[in-house]
Amino acid sequence: MARYCFHAYSGICFAQDFEVQDLPSLEAARAAARHVADHFWVYLPRHLRQESLTIEIEEEAGQGYASVCFPGRERR
C-alpha cells in the first residue's frame, strides 16, 4: 500500500500536511482529495472560493503526483 501526503495550495499560500495516509493507489488518493475538497468548499469564505485553490497529492516515495482543484475538479 502506498503512502500519500495531501497539501493545500492557493497560489499565495502553501500548507503542507505532515500526516501520511496509507491508500491502495493514486486513484484512491484522488478520490480522498476530491471528498475533502467537496466537503471544505462549503466552509470557505466567498473571497477564497477561487479556481486557484488546490489539494496537491504527493506519494511519499515520489512515484505519483496529482492535484484536485476546489470544488473537486481534477488536474494533473
How high is the mean pLDDT in each 10-residue block of the chain (76 residues)?
85 78 91 81 72 80 76 53
The answer, as to whether pTM is greater than 0.85, is: no
Residue 33, pLDDT score? 85
Q: Identify whether the C-beta of residue 54 lies closer than 8 Å to the C-beta of residue 38.
A: no
Residue 60, pLDDT score? 84
What is the radius of gyration, based on Cα positions, of the chain? 12
Residue 28, pLDDT score? 92
Residue 51, pLDDT score? 56
Domain ranges for the chain: 2-75
Residues 6+ apart with CB under 8 A from 25: 2
